[in-house]
Amino acid sequence: MKMTLAEIAGVLKTNVPAGSDSYAVTGVSFDSRSLKPGDLFIPLQGARDGHDFIEVAAKNGAVASLCASDKFDEVHADIPLMVVDDPLTALQDLARYYLLLKVNPKVVAITGSNGKTTTKDMVASILAKQYHVVKTHDNFNNEIGVPMTILSMETNTEVLVVEMGMDRPGQLKFLSGIAEPDVAVITMIGEAHIEFFKTRDKIADAKMEITDGLKEDGLFIYNGDEPLLRDRAKNVDQAQKTFGLGPENDLYAKHIVTHQTNTEFDLSRWPDLHFDIPVMGEYNVTNALAAILVGRRFHIKPEDIQDALQHFALTNNRTQWIQGDSGEEILSDVYNSNPTALAAVLDDFSTFPTKGRRIAVLGDMLELGDASAKLHAGIASALDPAQVEEIYLYGDEIKALADALADKYPADKLHYFPFGAQQELTVKLRDDVRSDDLVLMKGSHGMHLENVLAALQEADRG
pLDDT given at position 460: 57
Question: What are the residues facing 109 on neighbouring strands?
Answer: 162, 184
Q: Is 118 helix (H, G, I), strand (E, B) or coil?
A: helix
Q: Which of 299, 2, 297 is nearest to 130 (CA)?
A: 299
Q: Sign of dihedral through CA atoms 56, 58, 64, 70?
A: positive
Helices 171-179 + 87-97 axis angle, to 10: 40
- Specify the CATH number for the domain of residue 188: 3.40.1190.10
Q: How far is CA 62 from the centre of its chain?
A: 29
Q: Please give the C-alpha separations between residue 317 and each of 258, 336, 430, 454, in angstroms, as whole numbers.
A: 19, 9, 20, 12
The helix/strand/coil state of 91 is helix
Backbone phi and psi for residue 64, each to the nearest 5 degrees, phi listed first: -170, 175
Could you tell me if residue 89 is inside a domain? no
Q: Block means of pLDDT (10 residues each) for the chain, length 462 residues?
A: 96 95 96 96 94 96 97 92 98 98 97 93 98 94 97 97 94 98 95 71 95 98 97 97 97 94 94 94 95 98 98 77 92 88 92 95 92 95 97 98 97 97 97 96 94 86 48
115 assigned to a ligand binding site: yes
Q: Could you list the residue range(s) of the whole structural domain that residue 62 is in? A: 3-84
Same domain for 390 and 271, yes or no, is: no
Q: Are residues 295 and 266 in the same domain?
A: yes
Residue after which a domain boundary falls, among 291, 311, 331: 311
Q: 302 and 329: one domain?
A: no
Write the DSSP string, 292-355. Answer: HHHHHHTT--HHHHHHHHHHPPPPTTSSEEEE-TTS-EEEEE-S---HHHHHHHHHHHTTS--S
- How many Å apart are CA 131 and CA 154, to the nearest integer? 13
Same domain (yes/no): 73, 147: no
Q: What's the total number of domains in the chain?
A: 3
The CATH number assigned to the domain holding 366 equals 3.90.190.20
How many whole angstroms from its chain centre is CA 228? Answer: 22
3 state DSSP class of 112: coil
In a domain, 93, yes or no: no
Burial category of 86 from C-beta neighbours within 10 Å (exposed 0-12, middle 13-18, buried 19 and up) = middle
Amino acid 333: pLDDT: 87
Whether 396 and 250 map to the same domain: the answer is no
Residue 340 labeled ligand binder: no
Q: Which long-range contacts (CB under 8 A, 24 or more apart) does 406-409 make?
A: 408/380, 408/383, 409/383, 409/385
- 36 within domain boundaries: yes
Nearest to 130 by CA among 380, 307, 353, 5: 307
Distance of CA 310 to the CA centre of its chain: 20
Q: What are the E-state strand segments in 97-201? A: 106-111, 133-135, 159-163, 183-186
> Which of 50, 84, 118 is the last residue before a domain boundary?
84
Instruction: Please check if 114 is assigned to a binding site.
Output: yes
Whole-angstrom distance between the N-terminal and C-terminal Cα of the chain?
51
Categorise residue 263: left if φ over 0, alpha if ψ from -120 to 50, beta otherwise. Answer: beta
The burial of 328, by beta-carbon neighbours within 10 Å (0-12 exposed, 13-18 middle, 19 or more buried), is given as buried
Residue 257 and residue 192 share a domain:
yes
Q: Are residues 284 and 340 in the same domain?
A: no
- If asked whether residues 293 and 330 sit together in one domain, one would say no
Q: Which of 311, 339, 357 is the last residue of a domain?
A: 311
Do 279 and 191 lie in one domain? The reply is yes
Quick check: is 94 in a domain? no
Residue 219: the pLDDT is 98
* Domain presence at residue 97: no
Q: CA–CA separation, 379 vs 340, rounded Å?
A: 9
Residue 95 lies in a domain: no
Quote the CA–CA distance of 334 and 440 in Å, as a whole number: 9
* pLDDT value of position 350: 95
Q: Are residue 192 and residue 74 in the same domain, yes or no?
A: no
Residues 237 and 116 in one domain: yes
In a domain, 359, yes or no: yes
Can you give the CATH number for the domain in which 75 is found? 3.40.1390.10
pLDDT of residue 190: 79
Task: Say yes or no: 117 and 250 in one domain.
Answer: yes
**CB count in 10 Å sphere of residue 125:** 23
The per-residue pLDDT for 298 is 98
Contact 174, 213 (CB under 8 A): no
| Domain-located, residue 96 | no
Give per-residue burial for 439-458: e unless 16+ CB within 10 Å, then b. bbbbbbeebebbebbebbee
